Amino acid sequence: MKKQIPVTKNEVIDVRFEDLTHDGSGVAKVDGFPVFVPRTLPGESGKIKIIKTQKNYAIGKLVEIIEKSPYRVDIPREEAHKYGGCQLEHMTYEGQLKYKENQVRQVLARIGKLEDVAVHPVLGMKEPWHYRNKAQVPVGEKDGKLIAGFFKPRSHEIVDTDENLIQLPEVNEAINAVKAACSRLGITPYDEETHQGVLRHIMARYGKQTGELMVVLVTRTLELPHKNKLIEEITAMLPKVKSIVHNVNSMRTNVIMGPETTVIWGNEFIYDTIGDVKFAISALSFYQVNPEQTKVLYDKALEYAGLTGGETVIDAYCGIGTISLFLARKARKVFGVEVVPQAIEDAKRNAELNGITNAEFVAGEAEVVIPNWYKAGNTADVLVVDPPRKGCDEALLQTIIAMKPKKVVYVSCNPGTLARDLRILEDGGYKTVEVQPVDMFPQTTHVETVVMLERKR
């Protein structure tokens, strides 16, 4: 017999919220049937309108809060929530950190069957706003005016904005200055429906420690209209700018950057530091958007690695060498692997920039390269993994188990795949010793985690 759904679309009902989902929506139950409502918190009661029903759940919209959570705060700017991204900005920072710790703890227990592991309180920021060092914003047109900002959730409608509260002020200033200059010069915004117009995206990157700024203009056309005048205006308005880059993306695509990148003024790179390690950042480089918390994360990874100077370390998924270069200061030798060739070039350049000679970088898939190293008789004392959201490949996990490094340090951006992989390593002879969540992205639901595993005796 078909189960009756206890709510209907457009119905307005009173509910109490008892939990949060992984994406930050409040969870209410109607006769045991889950209803997910964004911008609500556990312990609250409220009036909601059902906007969508599915077989196993419904989605609601908050109409009115009847009873508030002690963790609720007013949203700093009324329009800030319209473009999404900051799913937890209506929650106190103390509440956010507790939510993230609880999320890691629950997922490790449910998926990894790791109920008794030490999960430490989340390492948060003193100032959990204005931390992002990079923005890439779509450009469009509204009422004949050039606008730039963020897409409304689940749409391609651009919300024009002058300030994003999680971006560094210098990044907001750069976006606004470029937007104003392009508007004055009559540079036409790209229209994705007609595939006409010129300017698609504006990107700004800022080195917080060095004060160096890069501006990237992404256009549909090979030609950048009024190029010299635009450079003149940008450099006059933004004295910290060290690099202006033109990227061409002529395709009908949601991908931001195209294949052709040219420096049209200043340097190819800007520089920034994490701790005492210096990094060269190009328009295409992957570089952490919150370097302050990246240092917290990598200091913890270094502590968990427990290096004494004689160890061989493998860093799988090494990116531009960020963790590798931290480890190389304390290890005998570090080998880094990364699938993106451009990132490996950046890693080699960053090693040279810091005078680090005991780090070697190889382009390739970690799940192919590292098993080949093991077959050739190479092993490691410590193995560090920092995989993408999908977690580690099975072939890599089995190689780690066979290689038997004394320690594995797992850096994760996804508690679900982390828990799955820890279970495999536990079953293969490792013990999860301790887990340290780090808040890299305040006001959002994302949480990074560093885990230390030791080979069972």
Residue 428, by phi and psi: left (phi above 0), alpha (psi -120 to 50) or beta? alpha
**For 81-122, what is each residue's pLDDT tens digit?**
555 678 999 999 999 999 999 999 999 999 999 999 999 999
Q: What's the rounded mean pLDDT across residues 246-258?
A: 96
The larger pLDDT score, comparing residue 381 to residue 143, is at: 381
Q: What's the rounded mean pLDDT across residues 257-271?
A: 97
Residue-level pLDDT at 329: 94
CB 271 within 8 A of CB 219: no
Task: Report residue 21 as tokens.
Answer: 């989902």
Pick from 57, 56, 59, 32: nearest CA to 48: 59
Distance, CA of 411 to chain centre: 13
C-alpha dihedral sign at 142, 255, 267, 174? positive
Helices and strands in the chain, H and E counts = 9, 22
Does 182 participate in catalysis according to the annotation?
no
Q: What's the rounded mean pLDDT across residues 46-75?
A: 94
Q: What is the mean pLDDT of the chain?
A: 94
Collapsed DSSP state (helix, strand, coil) of residue 280: strand
**For 296-352, what is each residue's pLDDT tens digit?**
999 999 999 999 999 999 999 999 999 999 999 999 999 999 999 999 999 999 999
Measured CA to CA, the distance from residue 332 to residue 358 in angstroms comes to: 7
CB 82 within 8 A of CB 42: no
Spatial neighbors of 127 by CB under 8 A, at least 6 apart, are none
Question: What element of type H or E holds 163?
Answer: none
Nearest 10 degrees: CA dihedral of 269, 273, 274, 279?
30
Residue 431 scores a pLDDT above 50: yes
Residue-level pLDDT at 86: 87
Say what percent of the chain tops pLDDT 90. 91
pLDDT band for 22, please (50, 70, 90 cuts). confident
Q: What's the rounded mean pLDDT across residues 37-65?
A: 95
DSSP H helical ranges for 306-409: 322-328, 341-353, 366-375, 394-403
Residue 155 scores a pLDDT above 90: no
Amino acid identity, position 311: E
Pick from 79, 120, 159: nearest CA to 303: 120
**For 382-426, what is each residue's pLDDT tens digit?**
999 999 999 999 999 999 999 999 999 999 999 999 999 999 999
Collapsed DSSP state (helix, strand, coil) of residue 56: coil
**For 161-204, what is each residue's pLDDT tens digit?**
899 999 999 999 999 999 999 999 999 999 999 999 999 999 99
Q: In Å, how far are 30, 34, 61, 71, 323 from 57, measured between CA atoms? A: 10, 5, 14, 26, 41
Residue-level pLDDT at 80: 52
pLDDT band for 76, please (50, 70, 90 cuts). low
pLDDT band for 1, please (50, 70, 90 cuts). very low
CB 348 within 8 A of CB 361: yes
Residue-level pLDDT at 77: 57
Residue-level pLDDT at 151: 87
Q: How many degrees, rounded to 5, is the angle at CA 38 between CA 34 and CA 42? A: 65
Residue 246 scores a pLDDT above 80: yes
Measured CA to CA, the distance from residue 448 to residue 409 in angstroms comes to: 13
Q: In Å, how far are 149, 183, 206, 259, 342 from 214, measured between CA atoms? A: 18, 20, 6, 18, 19
Measured CA to CA, the distance from residue 99 to residue 101 in angstroms comes to: 6
Q: List the end-to-end C-alpha distance of the chain, in Å, as a whole number.
A: 54
Residue 3 scores a pLDDT above 70: no
Which residue segments constitute the domains of the chain, with CATH numbers given?
12-71 (2.40.50.140), 98-126+290-455 (3.40.50.150), 134-276 (2.40.50.1070)
Residue 266 scores a pLDDT above 70: yes
Residue 228 scores a pLDDT above 50: yes
Exposed e or buried b per residue across 99-129, where buried means at least 16 C-beta atoms within 10 angstroms of its C-beta: bbbbbbbebbeebbebeebebeebbbbeebb
Report yes or no on whether pTM surpasses 0.85.
yes
C-alpha dihedral sign at 352, 353, 359, 362? negative
The HSE-up count of residue 4 (CA atoms within 13 Å, CB side) is 4
C-alpha dihedral sign at 9, 15, 21, 24? positive
Q: Which of 182, 318, 392, 413 is catalytic?
A: 413
